[in-house]
Structure 1
Amino acid sequence: MIRINQLKLSVNHTEEDLWNKAAKTLKIPAGEIRSLKIIKQSIDARKKEEIHFTYCVEVEALREEAVVHKAKNVNVTIAEKREYVFPKPGKETLAHRPVIIGTGPAGLFCGIMLARNGYKPLLLERGEDVDRRRESVDRFWEGGRLKPDSNVQFGEGGAGTFSDGKLNTLVKDPFMRNRKVLELFVEFGADPSILYVNKPHIGTDVLSGIVKNMREEIIRLGGEVRFQSRVTDFIAEDGKLKEIVVGEGERILTDVLILAIGHSARDTFEVLEKRGIPMEAKAFAMGLRIQHPQETIDLSQYGTKDQSLLGAADYKLTHSCKNGRGIYTFCMCPGGYVVNASSEEGRLAVNGMSYHKRDGKNANSALIVTITPEDFGGKGPLSGIAYQRRLEEAAFLQSNGKIPIQLYEDFKKGRKSQALGGVEPAFKGLYEFADLREILPAYMAESIVEGVEAFDRRIRGFARPDAVLAGIESRTSSPVRIFRDEALESSVKGIYPCGEGAGYAGGITSAAMDGLKVAEAVAARFQMQGL
């Protein structure tokens, strides 16, 4: 195969145009190209009057070495063939099937790889299956009671199920895990375009079906998935895990336990600390959500409000504040909604979500400020969780459980908003005007104002007075890291910390990749009886 980089085409090009451009670059007739595969597609919008797509493609042709030599182009090379390889079973034998706690991306992708290689894993999920979970979440958003074990954070698919479903990651990938994750997503129902678009996303509506399909495949291969099954204790002897306790007293023997618990499993972290599982508090970030009309973002990024060929525009912004803090936008949702993402009674958190089409009227993103363990006001591995809880309690009390909101100009001046402006907010969940400065520590509020003003120099209209703020965005990543060694195992043998909750990922793709990584570690060491 021949790889061609930097193929530039207009935004309204045809497939035939792409083949012809590849042939011209290779200096061969288009008919001599046997196949063409898009490896990467990105939008170049640096010059608004000349927006175009840039492609990396791989083509099959006759006498490929000669064609590459004839092309005399630094962007034309023989493609390097790399494939994902799952290890062969190790020599140690498992007496019991592996158990996975959590069915978020880390747990599901770990589970699917173990199931496909004969390990018949047991997946335990505290929340409901995705269909019942969606019903519970919709009722909560309409003003119903929160279900602490089945909500935006907990349930089949994890927190990512109610998100934009973004699949881009900055994790280096020499082992092709990223590609394997994307291929599995496509296999279970995602659009094949995620394999090559620069910033792939799925959308919460499509993601729900994908996680259900993955669950059914795990079961078909002999695995088991149990919902409303919260793990309440861990029993170890002589530094090795022996069994776990589910619910009020059911005991399950296991040699291997994968902790894919997610970043909001605070009660599980508490049990782990009591049982002596080594962990530490780590830095993360918190802040608010901001909403703008999607047209504002499209105009800034594309130079036009017409997004029919390019899709809803996104952004990623960072700023170093005078107080030494960093502020940046996070989990940007084009055409999306701000949602009530609470998981504990008496506490409130928000997140962003969008559907596959990203056709909502507003864009939203988190404005989050970096914080470190020195800010937590306490000691111990769970001090970051305590800090989160304090701010979430303040957010809940501000609007009696509704999402507290404020216009940006009022936030700057420290006054409660009285009426909306030209930005009609897009929320999932009830909301109410509040003074968000009463929720946040002073350094966070100051950083947000400085950041928004700085971002306005990048995106005109970002600091518009009637932009809608909501809080608190507190679940950006895990405030805890559970230690693991080079074999990905805790010092309590048999426990494998995994994914975002354990502190080793940040988003759907990196969590899924870590799930693959842990599955590989288990398989390289163990085999099942009769495998």
Structure 2
Amino acid sequence: MSTLVQITALPSEQEDHHLLLNRAIRKSNIRKDDIGDWRIRKRSIDARKKPVRLNLQIEIWKIGEEKISIPPYVPQDVSNAREIAIIGAGPAGLYAALRAIEAGLKPIVFERGKDVRSRRFDLAKINKEQIVNPESNYCFGEGGAGTYSDGKLYTRSKKRGNVLKALEWFVEFGADPDILVDAHPHIGTNKLPKIITAMREAVIEAGGQVHFNSKLTDLKLKESHIEAIEINAENWHSFNDVILATGHSARDIFYLLHNKNIKIEAKPFALGVRIEHQQKLIDHIQYHGDDENPYLPPASYSLVEQVEGMGVYSFCMCPGGIIAPCATEQEEVVTNGWSPSKRNNPYANSGIVVGIEPSDLPDFKPEDPFVCLDFQKLVEKSCWEAAGKTQQVPAQRMEDFVDGKISKDFPKTSYQPGIVSVDLNKVLPDLIARRLRKAFVQFGKKLKGYYTNDAVLHAPESRTSSPVLIPRDSGTLEHIEIKGLYPCGEGAGYAGGIISAAIDGINCVDAIAKKYDLH
């Protein structure tokens, strides 16, 4: 049994392991001669006051205490094992496939988009030519939305499963071991493709299959049980177990289920704008003027405010990041943010969104599963039209937005397709715009200097989570009406990011393994 000790250190001290160990020894009352090994287990930044400090959790093993090491991923040959279908090769789908191999199941993965490297050509077309491939974009393709829109690995949900195991799998396939230590781990869009490729190769090496350009187009049911799936409107494949890990933007899946009389429901989501500041400003605010400290990483922030009964909050904050075009259809615009591994771009961006309940919307009907989705689509198309029907987005400086003024010019933006000056108060629905106006003023009081006309709003930030829930049984994780169908991850409404989606993929496979008494 190890001993855990909490200590603090200046950022400049974090590489002085002799100093850190001695500080931990003084707090633990363990004699130095009795120590067999030690490590930094957790690391976080405390920037509440100056000087900025690190909170460190030190784990110490005495001589004779066993360090238990469990392999994060245990493969086996599943070439001839029971087959399960996994729809989608995002984090939920890939982790489900790896877990299936551990459980003795053969995963057959169907991904509507391209492999992770081929996707790059389609992303370039969105950015440079403003052409959207509806099957291959920032949302669709191997690795899912997170691969090319940041790679943040932290999650607030600790109850859904083993977060450490999910992180260890990333390390197993090539991520920096620091993600096991940092409070807010991050891989970076530049490094994730190689890791995703290694995961896919592990699935194939164990006897599983991964099929690209393979879109789910129909389901065959027999007595409320899944019997087969149709791929690309032509090929039928028999499966008794199907994990539906299609992501929050696969709207065609929601319509498919509804048309098959498979129950879906409207789900709360959030919508707003993506705001961009200079990273130097955010560093200055968060580090109390100590922003030239070379030992400190680019600063992030987290903001929340209740406005007229709705929460307004920061979402997917990207230090040193870039705003990306994340539309999945030509006649819409969508923004998201990402950061490279070093987070060394000069901009900081974040979604600032308003939480929406289905009942908040003017067209709400309890029986309508698409009320939130329709609202989301309406905003995305309105923004597309306002910006000139291209992948440019409507934009406004922050103070101008609050004051209702058209911005005459803009600082340089990281959004590559370009921005168009509009009054976002006339483009965004009033229930969103008026709450954002009030929230920005309050955020400026919380973070002195945040409320500035040098910050630019890009609209919309609309794909925060799925606007539709695919309900499932809390015990078996199967759809409440259809046996053998496992709604999974963000697209089904059961995750909110890479790690929680990955964990949900693991959980769905565990439910299948339990059904067949596999261990």
> TM-score interval w.r.t. the shorter chain?
over 0.9
The one-letter code matched in structure 2 to 1:16 is H
1:505 aligns with 2:491: no
Q: Which moved more, 1:54-63 or 1:177-186?
A: 54-63
Structure 2 residue runs of 5 or longer lacking an equivalent are none
What is the Cα deviation at residue 481 of structure 1? Answer: 1.0
Tell me, yes or no, if the aligned pair for 2:81 and 2:106 is still in contact at 8 Å: no
Q: Which residue of 2 aligns with 1:54?
A: 55
Q: 1:43 aligns with which of 42, 45, 51?
A: 45
What is the Cα deviation at residue 292 of structure 1? Answer: 0.7
Give the secondary-structure state (helix, strand or coil) at the position aligned to 1:162.
Answer: coil
1:416 aligns with 2:418: no
The one-letter code matched in structure 1 to 2:472 is R
- Residues in 2 aligned to 1:54 and 1:405: alpha-carbon distance in whole angstroms: 39
What is the Cα deviation at residue 527 of structure 1? Answer: 6.4
1:287 to 1:482, Cα distance in 2 relative to 1, 3 A: same
TM-score, length-normalised on structure 2? 0.93
Q: 2:457 aligns with which of 444, 469, 473?
A: 469
1:373 aligns with 2:358: yes
Q: Which residue of 1 aligns with 2:386?
A: 398
What is the Cα deviation at residue 449 of structure 1? Answer: 1.2
Q: Which residue of 1 aligns with 2:198?
A: 213
Q: Which residue of 2 aligns with 1:67?
A: none
- Residues in 2 aligned to 1:110 and 1:156: alpha-carbon distance in whole angstroms: 14
- Residues in 2 aligned to 1:209 and 1:123: alpha-carbon distance in whole angstroms: 19
The one-letter code matched in structure 1 to 2:6 is Q
Give the secondary-structure state (helix, strand or coil) at the position aligned to 1:116.
Answer: helix
Question: Would you identify which runs of 4 or more consecutive aligned residues in structure 1 move more than 4 Å?
Answer: 81-87
After superposition, residues 214-253 of structure 1 pair within 5 angstroms as: 214-253=199-238
1:82 to 1:236, Cα distance in 2 relative to 1, 3 A: farther
Q: Which residue of 1 aligns with 2:476?
A: 487
What is the Cα deviation at residue 84 of structure 1? Answer: 10
1:338 aligns with 2:338: no
The one-letter code matched in structure 2 to 1:489 is E
1:514 aligns with 2:508: no
State the identity as a percent.
Answer: 39
What is the Cα deviation at residue 466 of structure 1? Answer: 2.4
Give the secondary-structure state (helix, strand or coil) at the position aligned to 2:191.
Answer: helix
Q: Which residue of 2 aligns with 1:3?
A: 3
The one-letter code matched in structure 2 to 1:343 is T
Q: Which moved more, 1:454-463 or 1:389-398?
A: 454-463
What is the Cα deviation at residue 16 of structure 1? Answer: 1.6
Tell me, yes or no, if the aligned pair for 2:399 and 2:453 is still in contact at 8 Å: yes
Q: Which residue of 2 aligns with 1:433?
A: 421
1:348 aligns with 2:333: yes
- Residues in 2 aligned to 1:448 and 1:265: alpha-carbon distance in whole angstroms: 28
- Residues in 2 aligned to 1:307 and 1:332: alpha-carbon distance in whole angstroms: 21
What is the Cα deviation at residue 83 of structure 1? Answer: 7.7
Q: Provide, for residues 448-480 of structure 1, a one-character-per-residue CA deviation record: whole Å limited to 9, x for no partner.
A: 111111111121221101211001011000111
Q: Which moved more, 1:484-493 or 1:519-528?
A: 519-528
- Residues in 1 aligned to 2:140 and 2:73: alpha-carbon distance in whole angstroms: 29
Q: Which residue of 2 aligns with 1:70?
A: none
The one-letter code matched in structure 1 to 2:211 is R
- Residues in 1 aligned to 2:99 and 2:431: alpha-carbon distance in whole angstroms: 44
Give the secondary-structure state (helix, strand or coil) at the position aligned to 2:374.
Answer: helix
The one-letter code matched in structure 2 to 1:33 is I
Q: Which residue of 2 aligns with 1:149?
A: 135
TM-score, length-normalised on structure 1? 0.91
What is the Cα deviation at residue 85 of structure 1? Answer: 10
After superposition, residues 84-163 of structure 1 pair within 5 angstroms as: 97-163=83-149
Give the aligned CA root-mean-square deviation in angstroms: 2.3
What is the Cα deviation at residue 4 of structure 1? Answer: 2.4
- Residues in 1 aligned to 2:130 and 2:378: alpha-carbon distance in whole angstroms: 23
What is the Cα deviation at residue 174 of structure 1? Answer: 8.0
Structure 1 residue runs of 5 or longer lacking an equivalent are 65-77
The one-letter code matched in structure 2 to 1:457 is K
Q: Which residue of 2 aligns with 1:23?
A: 25
Q: Provide, for residues 343-392 of structure 1, a one-character-per-residue CA deviation record: whole Å limited to 9, x for no partner.
A: 01211111011111000101010110011112341441122111111000
Tell me, yes or no, if the aligned pair for 1:96 and 1:255 is still in contact at 8 Å: no
After superposition, residues 176-187 of structure 1 pair within 5 angstroms as: 177-187=162-172
Q: Which residue of 1 aligns with 2:244?
A: 259
Tell me, yes or no, if the aligned pair for 1:406 and 1:417 is still in contact at 8 Å: yes
